[in-house]
Homo-oligomer: A and B are copies of this chain.
Amino acid sequence: MTIGIIGLGLMGGSLGMDLRQLPFVKEVIGHDHNPEHCKTALKLGLVDTIVDFETLVQCDTIFLAVPVDAIIAILQQMPGRIGRTTTVIDLGSTKARIVDSIPESIRCNVVAAHPMTGTENFGPEAAVPGLYKDNVVVLCDMPDSGQHQQETAVRLFSGLHMRMHYMHAYDHDRHAAFISHMPHAISYSLANTVLNQEDKYNILALAAGGFRSMSRLAKSSPVMWEDIFRQNKEHLIEAINLFENELSAMKKAIKNDEWDEVHKRLETGKKLHEIIL
């Protein structure tokens, strides 16, 4: 099978690296609107070759590894350009708006996927082998994809050693708001809180592992996250509201010297790690 990847940043580039190792993948072809990314991707061996958009859409399987707004724009250009058996797999971090935007004539061709992996780095230089391995990929509204396209997606994600979860796009977006989008909003806000302090250099001189791990997500690409926040606005705001209520209840208990209540909240929070390790 020939594979095309549109978008050769962290996600697309790492994908290319790993797909090139699969025995049933004949060629991995790349396309990126940024010529520098194309050059770097070739140099680093993330893809076999670089082509223009018109040529890339002739691949058997096409991955869309660009920000979510760009995914929607590209999907509109596909009707008439891709074949009946082409599989288009989008890797966007929000799913409902993407699924809703797929032109009816190519609905069967598209598989809506969200690999729950990444790092805070971006661009083709950030690509690493094994980024997908042993991680979860959420596949949304799969019954709306064609039989062949479903099988192709499962074959590829199995080849990448990913664990597949099936979900409605709406549920995915709500879950992702809690597990990923809201934590990013927190991390950026934490970074801004410290940066706005008069003493920021003295404060940051003391930064240990805890602060580093809480502020790490604020290294991520602002362009990408603005886009995700926009696309998942309603769920994100719901998640932030619920988090604000929790923090405010913790603060109130501290303020009022209700130490049993504070302790209870610390104990219940700690239970999270009985579920995730």
Q: Does A195 contact B (CB under 8 A)?
A: yes
Asked whether, in the complex, the Cβ of B136 is within 8 Å of the Cβ of A192, the reply is no
With beta carbons under 8 angstroms apart, the residue of B183, B191, B193, B262 that contacts A242 is B193
Q: Does A8 contact B (CB under 8 A)?
A: no
Chain A interface residue count, Cβ-Cβ cutoff 8 angstroms: 92
Q: Contacts A175-B199, A237-B254, A242-B196 hold; do A208 and B247 have CB atoms under 8 A apart? A: no
Q: Count the copies.
A: 2
Complex CA gap A212/B197 in Å reads 27
Chain B neighbourhood of A276, CB < 8 A: 204, 207, 211-212, 215
**Chain A residues touching B, majority SS:** helix
Q: Does A116 contact B (CB under 8 A)?
A: yes
Q: Does A49 contact B (CB under 8 A)?
A: no
Q: Would you mind naming 13 contact pairs between A and B with Cβ atoms under 8 Å apart?
A: A118-B208, A120-B210, A178-B203, A179-B203, A182-B193, A185-B247, A186-B186, A188-B269, A191-B271, A192-B268, A210-B216, A215-B276, A241-B251
